[in-house]
Every structure is written in structure tokens, then in C-alpha cells.
Amino acid sequence: MTRELTDYEHSNLAVLRAFVTDIAFLYLTPTGLGKAILDAVLPVRTLLQTHHIHDFNEQAQGDANKVEIQTAFLDDECVSNVTTSLYRPVTKKGDPRIWFSCLKQRAHPNDILALFVFNNTLYTLNLTHSRLAAMRDAGTETETTRHLLNLTRETLAPANHLLAKLRMIAASGPLAAICSGDTAIGRTVETALGIKINSSQAPDYNGIELKSSRTKSALRTTANRAVLFAQVPDWAISRYKSSRELLEAFGYDREGGIHKLYCTVAIGHPNSQGLQLNLLRDLGQLAEIHVPSSPSDVVAWRLDTLHDRLNEKHHETFWIGADTFIRNNREHFVLKTVRHTRSPSTAQFDNLLEKGCISVDHLIKGTASGGAREKGPLFKLPKKDVPSLFLAETREYTL
């Protein structure tokens, strides 16, 4: 049993989301609170397991196997250390249980607790009755507000350091492009930051991904879509087994006899090649299909793979915007803005796919040897929709 959060609870939750987004909720039923027996529901179990606090799957049943850990309970005035019991009773199937000492003095039936982990410590806040948001808005300072402020500063320290460096670079004047083409801005900004150009798919700067784009350009039309990541299909579950087969089936000839498949594919309508995406939630797949009179399978991606790429690439991202101009036949960049995002939502990723907001670009070109070179497929999202993909509040900065 559970319920939707109230506006009051959402305001308290927003304070936590300033520094942590992996949060589980525990609804306190009258029976559970009265008997001091709370079900460790799946989100709570997942939180504890993911952060290496406790794994109920490895815990035997019975009181002799009960585990007790210390938890930081966020009271209004102070952070209290309470004992949390994690156990599986002998009765029934040993359904996982959780209980916090002194909880009856801190909660009422139908309250909702927020649980999160920071620096290997489990934290708990009563969203229903905490005055945390009100104290923040009033500027009231307590041990708890100071503690949370320190956690926020610790979380944002790498981003603040990077922001300071970008502001110094912007203040030094326009950056002369180190190369030409669409990738010039990204390569130039990374070089200015002292980042060596490489092919690694890992985030660029101390765990922060950098995505640079032109906001006003003297050379080209600025893109209205942001690249999230590149990911080839899972050929094992696809009808076509390579980019070359895709090119042969759906490509077209361009000037000079070059065979290409450059196109955008999305859910909702087929493109000029008859290609369209289809979200198969039950199968956990994103399919690309050909839609003539009767649809046929083309390629597919596992949603788990796409979710992993999203989390790996955009755990924390700086989306850098720059104006450009030409001087002495060379493009120059004027760094203007930063959009800072954290903690992507895989559920929202799927929703944006289903709405047709997230699309896929094929960039396949034939080679002289008869093969194919693929620069994608690129998963893209309109820049205006980028904040909706993330759980943490998006921060906007001027350089």
C-alpha cells in the first residue's frame, strides 16, 4: 500500500534532491507502525543492495541472523543516530523486514519516509512532518540544515571547480578552433580544459560529461537536438546483422556514387525510407521496423543496454553553449552558457522515446572496399527537453 506525495512532502523532497537523487520511499501503514514491523519493499531493498549497505537475498531467516546498522535520522534540529534492524522472520516466506529504533516517537500512521545513502551511510527523513523545506526557506540554521548544506557542497564540488575553470577560459577571450567541422567546438573546449582527445566513452572531466554546441554560428545552422550517446543495435536480436546490411537494404546513392544511409528514425511515423521505432516494453526492447504495407523487423536494442549507456554517459553533464564567428578564415568560439544536469531517469528516457522526442540518427556511409562506416546510431533529444530527462534540478549558468 502507498499513496502519492503531497505538495508539502514534495517540498521536503526537493531539499534532498539538491545533492542525492537515488531515494526510496517507505509508507508507514497503521499496522506496520503499530506492530513495529515494516515491509522492506523492493525500492528499499534495491537501494540498500545497490549501495552495498545490505543484501536481503543473502540473509538467512530468523532472529539469530538479524543485522543491525546505524542510520542517520534527519530530525528538524539535529541528526540523530538510530539503530536500524534488517531481518527475515521465520514465518511465511521470510519476507524482508526493516525497523528503525524510536520510530514511533518520530512518525505517525500513513507517513512517508525518504531513505537515501550518502558516503556509505543510510539516511532517513520523515517527509510528512519534517520542517526541512520551511527552515530552508526561512533561513533557519540547525545542525541538520548545516549537515545537509555540507553534503550539497561535497556533491557539487567537482562541478563548481569545472565551472570556475570554464569562466576563466571564457574571460580570457574567444577560443580559436583547433580543427574544423561539427566536432570542432567540443575538441576545442576540451583542449582548453587540458583534456587530451581520446576515444573513451567515459565522462570527460572528473566524472562529468561535456557536451559543447553552437548557440549562434557564423558557419552553419545550429542544431536543435542534443546528442545523448551513440549505441549500435544488438545484432544478436536483430534481423539485419551489421551496418553494411542496413546500408544495402535501405541506403541510397549520392553524388560521386557514394552509398549512404543518413536519416532520423523515431516513434510515431515512418521516415522517407519507411523506417520507424517501436518501443516494446514487455520485451524490454527498442525495435526499428520497416513500415510499408506490413511492418517488418529491422534491428533492435535492449532497453537495459540503453539505460546503462545513459547512466554511464550522463550521470552528471555540462551542456556548454557557445557563439561563433570567423576571424582570419578560422572559426572562433565565445563560451556563453552552461546547463548542469545530474541523475538521468531511465523511466523518463523510455517515456521520451515513446513520445517521439528521443530519436535515432543513422550515419552510415559505404567504403571503397565494399564495407560500411557507421558514425552512430546517435540517440538525440531536443535541447529544450533535456532538463526533463533528469531527476536532479537543472542548474543554468552564464559564463
Domain holding 246, by residue range, is 173-398
**pLDDT on residue 2:** 75
**pLDDT on residue 364:** 92
User: How many angstroms separate the CA atoms of 397 and 285, rounded?
Assistant: 37
**pLDDT on residue 372:** 82
In-domain check, residue 268: yes
In-domain check, residue 161: no
**pLDDT on residue 160:** 95
Asked if residue 227 and residue 181 are part of one domain, the reply reads yes
**pLDDT tens by residue, 161-188:** 999 999 999 999 999 999 988 889 999 9
Low-confidence ranges of the chain (pLDDT < 50): none
The domain tally of the chain equals 2
Asked if residue 98 and residue 190 are part of one domain, the reply reads no
In-domain check, residue 166: no
Asked if residue 225 and residue 363 are part of one domain, the reply reads yes
- Distance of CA 299 to CAs 218, 264, 279, 373, Å? 38, 14, 12, 17
In-domain check, residue 159: no
**pLDDT on residue 309:** 95
A 10 A CB-CB count for 297 gives 14
User: How many angstroms separate the CA atoms of 17 and 66, rounded?
Assistant: 31
**pLDDT on residue 224:** 87
* Residue 43, phi-psi category: left (phi > 0), alpha (psi -120 to 50), beta (remainder): alpha
In-domain check, residue 87: yes
Q: Which is it for the CA torsion 362, 365, 371, 375, positive or negative?
A: negative
In-domain check, residue 160: no
**pLDDT on residue 253:** 84
The CATH number assigned to the domain holding 372 equals 3.30.70.3570
Q: Which residues, in sequence order, are bridge partners of residue 209?
A: 317
Asked if residue 134 and residue 185 are part of one domain, the reply reads no
**pLDDT on residue 206:** 84
In-domain check, residue 193: yes
User: How many angstroms separate the CA atoms of 180 and 203, rounded?
Assistant: 23
